[in-house]
């Protein structure tokens, strides 16, 4: 991949001007058991979505599930090369669901069309480390701009393959991966699930392999850049760039700017059809005391939507690092331009640490779904010319700060979405309660 090679070269040149990193993590290893970590997360999730313009279809979805996730990470054996293992286990329990209200993506669906009463699975990986470079193989949870498993439902997804993480140079983090299958941790227990696309609504495309390479570099405490490249076999090549700049104005005020850009082109057999898409977003934020005000603009330059990872044709992954990818919509339709206004309030400044609020409004227009490849998987999914929509999101979150319930969190998210004929009018509420426990 030419651009991936260019990304690696650029990062290497940057690294060459930087001092070598701090002490080797492997030299400081205490041992396989001595550095082990074990945590358990209890997560209760209620998902309600009401469709307002779905005649003859499912009008609303309403389910509640409880999940228990155990995560074990061993330390590394001592020596020049250290070895270790990671393992995780999940148990999901249905608390509320009906045959006409399921389909939220919280739980797998059985052969009878109903959400399963309970489900469980486990996964793990082996790992090796030299200095500050780790190699992992097995059931992993990558999280980067071009290949990130989903975390928006009960359990995170996972992918089967290799991953290399390296931080040999101070401020420079490099990553590479090769993955062959995926598991949607909430909608399926199948570890050999297909690597699919979020906006291929028919679930037709299956990328047999995914490769990626990239990294981030902090040029200073306030300025960092990121470059990644990936290839979904016979589907696309996708490249990502980011620049993040923070300007402290005083002890209580700051300006920040965040720029993201993706370039996607079809590759090989072009299983998704012709793709020639450049999508970018720019967000500017002003913080003063407890308040933060953000404005963002996002633009899709291409006759296809900006698309990204989906897990076995079910829930989407998280590899969309764009400002206007929000609770329901991604504002990534063909030729779409969108604006966002957001307000965040941190109540710690008013004597209530752990309590925060957020409100945002996003509007998108100029959507044109008439010029896509008629033989591609996106054809017919985005209506006609000059489509538009908007979304309003409200969120309240509280995290217990001390005592026996420390880190217990309560989160309520509400979304309202309205659109012309290409998308749904809906109201949505999510209530998420999480209680993490550190055992080791």
What are the structure tokens assigned to 224, written together? 């960092």
Half-sphere exposure of residue 61: CA atoms within 13 angstroms, side-chain side: 19
Number of helices (H) and strands (E) in the chain: give both, helices first: 1, 20
> What residues contact residue 23 under an 8 Å CB cut-off, 6+ apart?
none
Gap between the Cα atoms of 410 and 433, Å rounded: 5
Helix ranges (DSSP H) in 147-281: none
Distance CA 366, CA 440 (A): 53
- Contact (Cβ atoms closer than 8 angstroms) between residue 18 and residue 172: yes
Q: Is 297 a catalytic residue?
A: no
What count of other Cβ atoms lies within 10 Å of the Cβ of residue 6?
13
Both structure tokens of 106: 């919280």
Q: Which residues pair with 72 in a beta bridge?
A: 38, 87
Q: Among all chains, which residue has been given the structure tokens 């469709």?
A: 51
Residue 133, Ramachandran bin (φ over 0: left; ψ between -120 and 50: alpha; else beta): beta
Are residues 240 and 233 in contact, defined by beta-carbon separation less than 8 angstroms?
no
Is 389 among the catalytic positions?
no
**Exposed e or buried b for every residue in 324-355, given b needs 16+ CB within 10 A?**
bbbbbbbbbbbbbbbbbebebbbeeeeeeebb
Catalytic residue among 66, 178, 291, 297: 178
Report the alpha-carbon distance of residue 329 to residue 94 in Å, rounded: 27
How many Å separate Cα 363 from the centre of its chain? Answer: 22
230, 319, 338, 356: which is the annotated catalytic residue?
Answer: 319
178 catalytically annotated = yes
DSSP codes of every residue in 333-344: -TT-EEEEEEEE
In this structure, what token pair is assigned to residue 259?
């720029």
d(CA 105, CA 138): 24
Largest CA distance in the chain: 65
Q: State the Cα angle at 88 between 82 and 94, rounded to 5°.
A: 175
From the list 71, 234, 366, 427, the catalytic residue is: 234
Give the integer Cα–Cα distance in Å for 237 and 272: 12
Task: For residue 8, give the 3-state DSSP assignment.
Answer: helix
**Catalytic residue numbers, as ranges:** 178, 234, 319
């Amino acid at each position: 991949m030419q651009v991936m090679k260019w990304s690696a070269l650029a990062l290497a040149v940057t690294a060459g001007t930087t001092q070598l990193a701090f002490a080797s993590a492997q030299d400081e290893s205490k041992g396989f058991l001595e550095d082990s970590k074990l945590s358990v997360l209890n997560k209760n999730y209620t998902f309600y979505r009401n469709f307002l313009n779905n005649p003859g279809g499912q009008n609303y979805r309403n389910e509640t599930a409880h999940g228990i996730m155990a995560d074990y990470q061993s330390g590394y054996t001592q020596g020049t090369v250290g070895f270790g293992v990671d393992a995780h286990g999940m148990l999901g329990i249905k608390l509320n669901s009906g045959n006409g209200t399921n389909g939220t993506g919280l739980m797998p669906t059985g052969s009878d069309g109903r959400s399963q009463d309970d489900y469980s699975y486990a996964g793990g990986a082996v790992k090796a480390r030299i200095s500050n470079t780790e190699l992992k193989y097995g059931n992993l949870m990558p999280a980067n701009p071009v290949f990130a498993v989903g975390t928006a439902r009960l359990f995170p997804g996972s992918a089967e393959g290799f991953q290399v993480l390296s931080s040999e140079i101070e401020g420079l983090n490099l990553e590479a991966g090769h993955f062959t299958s995926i598991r949607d941790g909430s909608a399926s227990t199948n570890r050999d699930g297909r690597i699919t696309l979020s906006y291929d609504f028919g679930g037709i495309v299956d990328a047999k392999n995914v490769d990626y390479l990239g990294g981030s570099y902090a040029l200073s405490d306030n300025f960092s850049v990121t470059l990644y490249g990936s290839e979904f076999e016979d589907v696309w090549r996708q490249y990502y760039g980011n620049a993040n700049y923070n300007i402290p104005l005083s002890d209580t005020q700051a300006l920040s700017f965040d720029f993201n850009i993706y370039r996607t082109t079809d590759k090989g057999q072009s299983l998704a059809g012709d793709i020639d898409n450049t999508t970018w977003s720019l967000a500017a934020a002003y913080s003063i005391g407890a308040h933060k005000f953000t404005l963002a603009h996002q633009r899709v330059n291409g006759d296809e939507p900006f698309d990204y990872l989906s897990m076995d044709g079910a829930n989407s992954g998280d590899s969309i690092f764009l400002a206007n990818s929000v609770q329901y919509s991604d504002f990534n339709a063909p030729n779409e331009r969108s604006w966002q206004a957001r307000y965040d309030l941190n109540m710690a400044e008013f004597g209530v640490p752990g309590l925060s609020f957020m409100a945002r409004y996003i509007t998108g227009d100029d959507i044109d779904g008439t010029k896509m490849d008629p033989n591609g998987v996106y054809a017919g999914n985005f209506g006609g010319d000059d489509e538009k929509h908007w979304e309003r999101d409200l969120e309240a979150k509280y995290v217990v700060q001390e005592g026996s319930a420390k880190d217990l969190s309560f989160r309520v998210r509400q979304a309202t979405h309205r659109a012309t004929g290409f998308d749904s009018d809906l109201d949505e509420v999510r209530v998420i309660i999480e209680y993490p426990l550190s055992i080791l």
